Amino acid sequence: MKWQALQAHMLIGLQTALGSHWDSIAIGLSFLGNYFTYRYLVIGLVIVVGTEYALETGIIALLAMISADALKLLFLTKRPFEMHYPIRSLYTDSAAGASFPSGHAEVATAVYALFARTMRIQKKRWWWLWLLIPLFIGISRLYLGVHWPIDVVSGWIFGWMLFELTILRPGYGHMSMRFGILSPVWWIIILLLSNFITFGSDTVGMLRFVAMFSLFSYFTPPVLPARSLGVMLFRAGIVLFPMWLLSVILRHVLGAGAIPIEGMVYGAWLGLVGFVFPYVKI
């Protein structure tokens, strides 16, 4: 209890020092770390840099989500706003499940460490700026009073460990090629098992999205990096308009029941664009 009291005083001290002027910024940073946002990050990466890098990002994000959710089920730690301490809590809708570790911090660390690594290999001067994103996302979770300091620090550590084990140790290259992760049989098995997984709904949704994306990408030509801004915009229209149209149709026909299916449909279409882009020469 003394350790928890110390952490509570740390949170109260942080909130007192910063005041309430940073509420909107903290909520925005925390929103950036929500699990469902990584689906749209992967879609954007397909448009800009192509299939292979988007797959690596989706897979490492998914692994981090599963890791964080599994640890939450193991430890079942209560969140600060569930205790008796006078801690101001905001944006509690983003705080589902147990407190330890911070899934926002873990997933962001794994994903943006991959970004930083890629930029560094390409000799980009400001590669390290990508590492500030998980730092600020983690701090926002403390400011909002939805995590203990140990949750966020552990999330950073676990996210870096995952990045270390999947990217650095094997040697940077194509993750999907190293692990044979694109083999269709694996993703079919994962899709079947997703009906019995007890993780959070956003994690299961990401699992189905990545599974369909990987499964369909296996049979289509890889999408290469865009050559110009005009190509990016053309690709965006080809990718996003059918997704929007399918979403409207599914929600009209199935109502709320469309939500679990949308991610699978998005993933399948994202995998199939490898057939479409060559025909329009983008």
- Ordered by start, the domain boundaries in the chain are 20-82+91-279
Q: What is the DSSP string of 153-222?
A: HHHHHHHHHHHIIIIITT-SS-HHHHHTTT-HHHHHHHHHHGGG--S-HHHHHHHHHHHHHHHHHTTSPP
Going from the C-alpha of 49 to that of each of 128, 178, 190, the distances in angstroms are 19, 20, 26
Check residue 57 and give its pLDDT. Answer: 92
- 193-237 confidence digits (pLDDT tens): 766 777 888 898 899 899 889 888 888 888 888 889 999 999 999
Query: Which pTM value belongs to this model?
Result: 0.88
How many Cβ atoms are within 10 Å of 242's Cβ, its own excluded? 16
CA distance 156 to 138: 8
Q: Please tell me the distance from the alpha carbon of residue 56 to that of residue 222, in angstroms, as a whole number.
A: 13
Mean pLDDT, rounded, for 164-191:
58
* d(C-alpha 141, C-alpha 137), whole Å: 7
pLDDT in tens, 15-60: 888 888 899 999 999 999 999 999 999 999 999 998 888 988 998 9
Task: Kindly report the number of other CB atoms within 10 A of residue 36's CB atom.
Answer: 14
Report phi then psi at 21, rounded to 5: -75, -20
The reported pLDDT for the residue numbered 64 is 94
Paired tokens of 279: 């025909």
The string of DSSP letters for 228-276 reads SHHHHHHHHHHHHHHHHHHHHHHHHHHGGGGHHHHHHHHHHHHHHHHHH
Query: How much is the pLDDT for 177?
Result: 44
CB under 8 Å to 32, separation ≥6 — which residues? 108, 133, 137
**Sorting pLDDT into bands at 50, 70 and 90, what band is 179?**
very low
* 267 contacts 211 by C-beta, under 8 angstroms: yes
Tens-place pLDDT, residues 100-148: 999 999 999 999 999 998 888 888 889 899 999 999 999 999 999 999 9
What does the mean pLDDT of the chain come to? 86
For 39, the token pair is 């689906």
Which whole number is the average pLDDT over 245-259? 83
> What is the rounded average pLDDT of the residues 231-250?
91
Task: Express as a percent the part of the chain with pLDDT over 90.
Answer: 42
